[in-house]
Amino acid sequence: MIDPAVEQMLREDPASYVIPAEVVANVTATNTLEHALMVLSKVGYSRVPVLDPDDRLQGMISLAAITDRLLHVPGAAVDQLSRYTVADAMLPVDHWVDDPAKLETILNYMIDEPFVPLVNEDGIFQGIITRREILKRVNYLAHNLNDQYNVTPKEHTES
C-alpha cells in the first residue's frame, strides 16, 4: 500500500496527468503496417495505441513489432509492409485503468510499461498516463514533501 501522505500528494488532480485521447497518436487495426511505420516515424514514439473505428482500445503497435514482422517476410523490404495490416503485428493490451486516481495500480504497471491506457466503462479510449507525467509528480513530491508534512526519521532503537 502506498503511504497515504505520498499518495495524496502524487494523486492531486489525477486528470492533469492524463494525456487526452485527442493528442495521443494512434492507428487502426486495418491500417497497413507501412502506414503505421510512417506514423511512428513521424511522431517519434516507439509504441502507440491501436483503436477501432468507435475509439475502443484494441491493442498496441510498436516499431519493434513491425520490424519483427518485416524480418519474417522473405527478402524483407519496407514496401512489403503495405501487404500487411496493423492487426498482423498488433500486441495485446495487457494493462489499462478505468480511473486515473488508481495510482497504486498505475505505478505497478509502469514498472514495465512506458504508458498506461485509460479507458471508460465502455472500453472507449480516453488517453494515456505516461512515465513522464508520473515522474513529474514524483519530482514535485521529492521537493515538497517537507513543506506539507513533518518528515523526521524514526527513533533508532537498539535491540
Q: Which residues bind ligand 2BA (CB under 6 A)?
A: 19, 23-25, 43-48, 114-115, 128, 130-132
Q: How far is the CB of 156 from ligand 2BA (least distance, A)?
A: 38
CA distances from 90 to 34, 133, 143, 153 (A): 13, 25, 40, 49
Considering the complex, state which of residue 36 and residue 128 has its C-beta at the smaller distance from ligand 2BA.
128
Of the two residues 44 and 92, which places its CB atom closer to ligand 2BA in the complex? Answer: 44
Set of cell numbers at residue 117: 491506457
* Residues 11, 3, 113, 30, CA torsion sign: negative
- Which CB, 45 or 124, lies closer to ligand 2BA? 45
**CB 135 to ligand 2BA: min, Å:** 7
Query: Is 85 or 130 the residue whose CB approaches ligand 2BA more closely?
Result: 130
- Of the candidates 40, 15, 31, the one whose C-alpha atom is nearest the C-alpha of residue 118 is 15
Which DSSP category does 102 fall into? -
CB of 62 to ligand 2BA, least distance (A): 8
Pairing between strand 115-119 and 19-20?
Answer: unpaired
Query: Is 69:78 a contact under the CB 8 Å cutoff?
Result: no
CA distance 36 to 82: 10
The least CB distance from residue 6 to ligand 2BA, in Å, is 20
Cβ closer to ligand 2BA: 5 or 20?
A: 20
Q: Provide, for the chain, the percentages of residues in helix, strand and coil under a 3-state DSSP scheme, each rounded to the nearest 5.
A: 45, 20, 35
Minimum gap (Å) between residue 131 Cβ and ligand 2BA: 4
